Amino acid sequence: MRMHVWRWLPIVTLTSLLLPAAAAGPDAGVSSTEPADARAWLVRIHTAANQRNYQGTLVFSAGGVLSSSRVAHFCVGDQSFERLEALDGRQQRVYRVGDTVHTLWPQTRVAVVEKRAPISNLPSATQTVEPRVLEQYDLLREGSERVAGREAQVFLLQPRDDLRYAQRLWADKATGLMLRADVIGPNRSVLESAAFSEVEVGIKPQSDSVTQPIKKLDGYRTVKAQQQPTQLDAEGWVMDRIAPGFKLAGCVKRPLESASGEDQVLQAVFSDGLTHVSLFIEPFESRRQLASLSGQIGATSTLRQRRGDYWITVMGDVPAATLKTFADALERRR
């Protein structure tokens, strides 16, 4: 495993050499944005992501680890098509047509088919921007930079309290497409960063490249993963004091690892308009091997503790203290 880190080290080093401007630049020309203008930019970013046709390589970096994926997105009429191919580690391909998602694991010849009805009110799930986001964050305009060969407008979403992290966004000036996003922790440290290393926007849609590979899944074992919408109180749970700015976006019962019915967990999702927190509840008795834990990698914090007959696992790109407020607020009522 240590080998792995070393293998990446040259790339990490190279990246840090190439990116000094990113660290130094944004401070120049900071200006607070008019609310209407700020909202207009966020809408532009969302609309571009949903409605443009683009293809490129997305690089993700956190905690000194880089991974990249080849991503293509097409929009034909009302229908959206998306394709993702993981370029590092285990082979994985994801094909999405509307809200039907095929995840293919070529090495084990397993295809997981899911109907992912978007959990409503999530920041990215709808094509409109959640207006609440600007109640929790100030949007500051930070000048221009060049990303993936394109001119980008830089924004900082600065939280108004310490329950969440800041995010810096680089939006393509020509189309509004998000070219890079950093999650920024206390002391302005970059916790994780995601960026297109190269991207073509406005290409001809090739929806066949998404629909063809999932038509013939010869030799694949197809697994259907079912999610059932439910309510926290219907499952016997109550949450009275949710962290300020967060709202319950949805709650589902879902298989976790195996796509079989036996491994069901309850997942409640909370959103503040920009980021979201997941709360997982599962019976203690059948998961005795689990342990309490708490930690953070990149921007993602995880907190797991036992509550009576249940394991409570909270996960999200927020400070650990925020996760704790979620875990503490959950109460069993039945």
Partner 1 sequence: MNPSADSDESRNEPAPDERGALMSALADGDAAALQRGCALWRDDAQARATWHAYHLIGDVLRSEDLANRPSRDAAFLAALRTRLADEPVVLAPQPAAAAAARRRPVWQPWLMPAAVAAGFMAVAGVLVVTRIAGPVADGPVLAASPAPNTALTLAGNAAPVAQPLVIEGRLIRDARLDSYLRAHREALGGAPYALPGGVPRNVETLAPMAPAAQPAAR
**DSSP states along 123-148:** TTTSSSPPTTHHHHEEEEEEEEEEET
Q: Tell me the three state secondary structure of residue 179.
A: strand
Task: Please state, in angstroms and rounded to a whole number, the distance separating the CA atoms of residues 248 and 239.
Answer: 10
Task: Please state, in angstroms and rounded to a whole number, the distance separating the CA atoms of residues 332 and 250.
Answer: 18
Judged by beta carbon, residue 43 or residue 333, the one nearer partner 1 is 43
Burial class (CB in 10 A: 0-12, 13-18, 19+), 223: middle
What's the min distance (Å) between Cβ of 54 and partner 1? 7
User: CA 153 from chain center: how many Å?
Assistant: 21
Alpha helices for 52-89 (secondary structure H) = none
Judged by beta carbon, residue 176 or residue 237, the one nearer partner 1 is 176
Q: Tell me the three state secondary structure of residue 319.
A: coil
Judged by beta carbon, residue 123 or residue 237, the one nearer partner 1 is 123
Judged by beta carbon, residue 300 or residue 334, the one nearer partner 1 is 300
Enter the tokens of residue 282: 């599962």
Q: Tell me the three state secondary structure of residue 52.
A: coil
Judged by beta carbon, residue 38 or residue 334, the one nearer partner 1 is 38
What's the min distance (Å) between Cβ of 178 and partner 1? 5
Residues in the chain: 334
Judged by beta carbon, residue 183 or residue 237, the one nearer partner 1 is 183
Give the CB-side neighbour count of residue 210, counting CA atoms within 13 A.
26
What's the min distance (Å) between Cβ of 307 and partner 1? 14
What's the min distance (Å) between Cβ of 311 and partner 1? 10
What's the min distance (Å) between Cβ of 15 and partner 1? 14
Judged by beta carbon, residue 62 or residue 217, the one nearer partner 1 is 62
What's the min distance (Å) between Cβ of 232 and partner 1? 15
Enter the tokens of residue 195: 């960026």
What's the min distance (Å) between Cβ of 325 and partner 1? 13
Judged by beta carbon, residue 186 or residue 236, the one nearer partner 1 is 186
Q: Tell me the three state secondary structure of residue 120.
A: coil
What's the min distance (Å) between Cβ of 65 and partner 1? 5
CB contact at 8 A, 166 and 182: no
Give the containing element (helix H, strand E) for 24: helix 20-24
